[in-house]
Structure 1
Amino acid sequence: MTPPTRTAIPPQATFSLPPQPAAGGPQATGPSDSRWALASLALSMLLSSLGTSIVNVGLPTLAQALDVPFQEVQWVVLAYLLAITTAVVGVGRLGDVVGRRRLLLAGLALFTGASALCAAAPTLGLLVAARALQGLGAAAMMALTMAFVGETVSKDRAGSAMGLLGTMSAVGTALGPTLGGVLIAQAGWPMIFLINLPLGALGLLLVRRHLPADRLAAGERPGFDPLGTVLLALALGAYALAMTMGRGGWGLLNGALLCLAALGACLFVWAQARVAAPLVRLSVLRLPGLGAGLATTTLVATVVMATLVVGPFYLSGALGLGAAQVGLAMSCGPLVSALVGLPAGRAVDRLGAHSMGLAGLAAMLAGCAGLALAPLAWGVPGYVVPLAVLTAGYALFQAANNTAVMAHAEPGARGVVAGLLNLSRNLGLITGASAMGAVFAMGAALAHAVGASGMPMVAGMRATFTAAALLMVGAMALMLGSRARRRQGCPPGIG
């Protein structure tokens, strides 16, 4: 699907929709229509991120209400994340095949209906199953909102649109714990799921009325790859379970799952080279900057997850903060990301994705160095200030990297490329929760072994963010190397 030629955008206009067909879809008549289209995408992104963060605060309540141990109730969160991770590439590709608007409507409907099932679930097993369905709907919402940017805004406004989506993702992450706590206190745990019903209905209305209709003719529809979808889901599910089971420990089951993930990945690559309509054409990975963009996204997400995993231990163990104070300090990160998202997108439009991506990585490197080196005597400001720098850099990198990657995606492959971007982020978050937690534990254990009384949490913090800083150096090297290869005219390779 090739977007029509766009006319110049007047200075007062914010975004511009491509002209729509006379029948069967919404009509784009000006900036107002494009704003409503972006509002529908922003709400979809908000709902999917809210679905992740709002439940965490309710886990103790759910454990008590359903009479299950805390280790089991964590599957309420894990089922949602696993469903998104395993399905996000497949639903992105399916959107390219059957139509993105149609599948986004289906994803919103599934997410909303599954939310009602979650609220009515009488047992943990049914709640986990409903959360998995909710995650499938969220996977469609995450992948297709990014894919729609190329159809709803002009190329020179893509950075602003990506910044808006990043802002809404951060708002959902930051709002979830607070909103969830209020809803549980006032109306009980089912309300953290029922809140999605009116928001989901509004999202369905906005998408149906304001997003461009699917325009693939029957003869133009690419094929779908069920074998590749199953193999990729198997590999990703096994990897995610290997990284998350055992609550930070590592045993025989984790190793077996990791071997299964490696086998599934090999079979997936083998199948993609042999089927007529692969889920991910291997040639897509040679798009300019795509390999580097995916790899840096994974590294960046790994570092961001470190702040969520390590932060509570440092703030409570080393600084002696209470639970409410820890939550307040940690909310600084999502809040900064939400505030910086839109300005970051505008900066990408004006100054270029590559330079802004590097600036974002440099800010993240500075934030990691600050978290690793800030003395304990600086207290809470010594944690919050570097965290604010790190998350501001993350918002800038996300807007720049997503814009650059999606700009090179062909119209018929935007869904799968957006799915790959979301997948690389999720893999980074999953890996970060395990790997960075292990680095923190090793650093703290080493300090304890040598008798550094009162210092294990500080030592673990320094070890974690020293490793994070090295990851950021690697991410910058990947981005610079990819840029250099493209300037030299070499065939673009992965990374």
Structure 2
Amino acid sequence: MKQHISTRPDSADGLPVPQRYFAILTVILGLTISVLDGAIANVALPTIAVDLQASAAKSIWIVNAYQIAIVTSLLSLSFIGDMIGYRRVYQYGLVLFTCTSLFCALSTSLEMLTLARVLQGLGGAALMSVNTALIRLIWPQRLLGAGMGINSFVVAVSSAAGPTLAAAVLSVASWKWLFLINIPVGIVALILAVKYLPANPPSAIRPRFDIPSALMNALTFGLLVIALSSFAQGQSWTIVGAELAALLIIGTLFVRRQLTMPVPLLPVDLLRIPVFALSMCTSVCSFTAQMLALVALPFYLQGALGRSEVEAGLLLTPWPLATMVMAPLAGLLIGRIHGGLLGSAGMSIMAVGLFALAMLPASPTDGDIIWRMALCGAGFGLFQSPNNHTIVSSAPPHRSGGASGMLGTARLLGQSAGAALVALLFNLFTTNGSHYCLLLAGGFALTAVVVSGLRATRHVARP
């Protein structure tokens, strides 16, 4: 009798064991390589610039190309996931990401590598756009919180390991190996994805892909990231103003078009769900706070405190380590404590840590810095898993792709805004810029506390 593993999840119980574990491993592998590639390139930029004979300013496009490709395509790919299935989008993403990793490694010029990074970003966006939607199908409903905790754990580990892994690889091999290591991981993940990932549950709603909406979506979010980048790099106000004007015009037309669509690409229908909208706002605030701190702290540790690059890296490590520990534990609390209260508690802890960092003594010990970093990371870990769970579970099942795409978009927008605000504050305050960045980060964390607390009066609508 022929053995066959079902790829259709039960709507209440997720996938059976052991298929569930292999499906989880598939999502973990894809998420790991896509997050890692966003982190390792930053460390390798000076080496790549020298090898490809490019200026430091131009080499920034190696990072920007990847980021812009993701943010401009994330919602379109999540919408396609709702149409043709999250499994198929994920598989295509793995194929594209793996092939373009080889393209990156074989690049011999900055232009060639930039193009490869754009294509790799599209593959990474396919993986990020549907990963939480797949988690909703893979895990039983009663264990979905634990699944979100593992997802947050993987993101934290990958982000933390990125600089260390890049430094380790560059110490023994060429920068090309930063991309070549993706290939065997991608192949294994693809084999597992073909065999174990679940299909979308049957749905009476068949969304139609609207090409003008996709183009306006790409222009809107692309212009937003480019405008923030231009502002951060000190471009003239004429250029920044023109980009913002184009963003305002195209963005307005885009939103107005979405309001007329039965199933919009930009999920304005989901934003009408109060719990979803509040969770999205909380997510943007939290990632803005995190990026403000994590970009400013290395300058503070090395510039103001005179620590070396290695010492600064080690002193930053307690933040992601605490997130790694707390995220799975927070996942276990989902369903026992209201997500809004968990989110408020987590961001309150993070705010205390940020303000404590801003008030460090003039000559702090390592211990003074470490416990504050750990407090920030623990607070963020306590917040992230319940917030992600609320975003995904508050959307109807057939709109899980849209919810997953919005989750990734909120993260990217918060990170982009945080990086731009660091540049602004460094220009305004030439001597104490890092201090004001930490204070502003604490302010965003407190805003997230308030917005998250508003969710405690709301109930997640069960479709």
- Tell me, yes or no, whether TM beats 0.5: yes
Deviation, 1:214, is 4.0
Is 1:419–2:419 an aligned residue pair? no
Q: Match for 1:40: what amino acid? A: T
Is 1:229–2:217 an aligned residue pair? no
Among 297, 317, 324, the residue aligned to 1:331: 317
What are the equivalent positions in structure 2 for 1:82-231 lying under 5 Å apart? 82-214=68-200, 216=202, 220-231=205-216
In structure 1, C-alpha distance between the alignment counterparts of 2:268 and 2:297, rounded to whole Å: 39
Deviation, 1:250, is 4.5
The question of whether the paired residues in 1 share the 8 Å contact of 2:358 and 2:438 is answered with yes
Q: Which residue of 2 aligns with 1:69?
A: 55
Secondary structure of residue in 1 paired with 2:209: coil
Secondary structure of residue in 2 paired with 1:108: helix
In structure 2, C-alpha distance between the alignment counterparts of 1:402 and 1:52, rounded to whole Å: 20
Among 447, 464, 474, the residue aligned to 2:437: 464
What do you get for the CA RMSD once the two structures are aligned?
A: 2.1
Q: Percent identity?
A: 31
In structure 1, C-alpha distance between the alignment counterparts of 2:227 and 2:83, rounded to whole Å: 32
Q: Which residue of 2 aligns with 1:431?
A: 417
C-alpha distance after superposition, 1:168-189 (max 9, x if no partner): 1111111111211222222211
C-alpha distance after superposition, 1:142-177 (max 9, x if no partner): 121101121111222111111111111111111111
What are the equivalent positions in structure 2 for 1:297-312 lying under 5 Å apart? 297-312=283-298
In structure 2, C-alpha distance between the alignment counterparts of 1:293 and 1:79, rounded to whole Å: 28
How many pairs does the alignment contain? 454
Q: Match for 1:79: what amino acid? A: A
Among 29, 48, 51, the residue aligned to 1:43: 29
The question of whether the paired residues in 2 share the 8 Å contact of 1:159 and 1:348 is answered with yes
Secondary structure of residue in 2 paired with 1:224: coil
In structure 1, C-alpha distance between the alignment counterparts of 2:453 and 2:325, rounded to whole Å: 28
C-alpha distance after superposition, 1:174-217 (max 9, x if no partner): 11112112222222111000000000011111211111134558
The question of whether the paired residues in 2 share the 8 Å contact of 1:371 and 1:461 is answered with no
In structure 1, C-alpha distance between the alignment counterparts of 2:274 and 2:142, rounded to whole Å: 18
In structure 1, C-alpha distance between the alignment counterparts of 2:79 and 2:312, rounded to whole Å: 40
Deviation, 1:61, is 0.9
In structure 2, C-alpha distance between the alignment counterparts of 1:423 and 1:344, rounded to whole Å: 22
Deviation, 1:330, is 2.1
Among 422, 431, 448, the residue aligned to 1:475: 448
Deviation, 1:369, is 1.4
What are the equivalent positions in structure 2 for 1:229-268 lying under 5 Å apart? 229-245=214-230, 247-251=232-236, 252-268=238-254
Secondary structure of residue in 1 paired with 2:391: helix
In structure 2, C-alpha distance between the alignment counterparts of 1:386 and 1:264, rounded to whole Å: 43
C-alpha distance after superposition, 1:305-334 (max 9, x if no partner): 012211111101111011221222223322
Q: Which residue of 2 aligns with 1:399?
A: 385
Deviation, 1:340, is 2.3
The question of whether the paired residues in 1 share the 8 Å contact of 2:87 and 2:193 is answered with yes
Structure 2 gap ranges (5+): 1-7
Deviation, 1:381, is 3.1
Structure 1 gap ranges (5+): 7-15, 19-27, 446-455
C-alpha distance after superposition, 1:324-362 (max 9, x if no partner): 212222233222222322222112244342221111111
Deviation, 1:108, is 0.8
In structure 2, C-alpha distance between the alignment counterparts of 1:356 and 1:214, rounded to whole Å: 30
Is 1:17–2:14 an aligned residue pair? yes
